[in-house]
Amino acid sequence: MFEEAQYFAPVAANDDGTVEVQLAASHPGFADPVYRARRNAIAALAVGYVPGTPIPTAEYTEQEHEVWAIVSRELALKHRKYATAEYQRAVTRLGLPGDRIPQLQEVGDLLEPLTGFRYIPAAGLVPLRDFYGVLADGLFHSTQYIRHHSTPLYTPEPDVIHEVIGHANALASDRYAALYRLAGQAARRVESDEALEFVSKVFWFTLEFGVMTDDGELRAYGAGILSSYGEIEEFRGMDIRPLDLAAMGTTHYDITKYQDVLFRADSLAHLEDVVGGFWESCDDEAVLRLIAEGRQG
């Protein structure tokens, strides 16, 4: 069962043109009317976005920029210890601002000359086939809102910190960006929903939550770990398994908790061989064989 739908707050577009983000009662910003209004206004930008035009500017408040500055600073310290060397080089290459939230347009302007990727705004959940498919074209769907200021180091949903610090830094690496593109090509190639879900789960356990042996240490390259202040300190203590396509594509995960099963590549070349090679050529038949293998194992 793919649960990503529960990960994003539902977004309702009303007939009068207004947009309402339906936060759960447990969300840190649920009882804050100012935050709720901000979320609705930012979601409306994405709902009204016309592909091919410049991304509308989100007018962030000082408080929102401050949340970015705090989290950026804390994560940068942790990346030195826990992020792969390839990711750390990509951080330097991209050069994101540390003191303010960059606009998604700006993120694309920085990334495009490096690896050809651009960002496009998403109000909330994007259907799997669209989300993954456009990776093949060098496009990345991204939320634009930031977490509630009362909990700067926690978010129950993917916000601009996850999308940009986690994913854009990775997308500034030629080798990681090539893997994102291959995932997109695989998502377009497979036809059944079952095969698409398998492809997306392999993405989840690699480009979102992947770890690898890097310079003799276990380090993370997945955007979900590298953008999470809590998770980055915990991943080395999780149940670390060898990279295995059949297992990754069929292992259940709960997006509302820290990932307790992680898959370790021996190196970036190993990840490219196994996972890149799979995405490069997989079809429905190959995925069905792996699903059968995963159910036996």
Binding residues for Fe cation: 162, 167, 208
| From 142, 162, 173, 228, active-site residue | 162
Q: Retrieve residue 218's tokens.
A: 């276990």
User: Helix, strand, or coil here: 94?
Assistant: helix
Half-sphere exposure of 187 (CA within 13 A, CB side): 22
| From 64, 157, 208, 231, active-site residue | 208
Q: Check: CB of residue 141 under 8 Å from CB of residue 130.
A: yes
The count of residues interacting with Fe ion (CB under 5 A) is: 1
Active site residue 208: yes
| Residue span binding Fe ion (CB under 5 A) among the ranges 14-22, 30-38, 66-74, 222-230 | 222-230
Q: What are residue 141's DSSP bridge partners?
A: 120
| Residue span binding Fe ion (CB under 5 A) among the ranges 23-31, 93-101, 217-225, 237-245 | 217-225
Q: Check: CB of residue 60 under 8 Å from CB of residue 102.
A: no
Active site residue 27: no
| From 167, 173, 197, 228, active-site residue | 167
Q: CB 253: neighbour CB atoms within 10 A?
A: 17
Q: Check: CB of residue 185 under 8 Å from CB of residue 280.
A: yes
Q: Which CB, 143 or 273, lies closer to Fe ion?
A: 143
Q: Which CB, 225 or 287, lies closer to Fe ion?
A: 225
| Residue span binding Fe ion (CB under 5 A) among the ranges 49-57, 63-71, 216-224, 270-278 | 216-224
In the complex, the smallest distance separating the C-beta of residue 225 from Fe ion, rounded to whole angstroms, is: 11
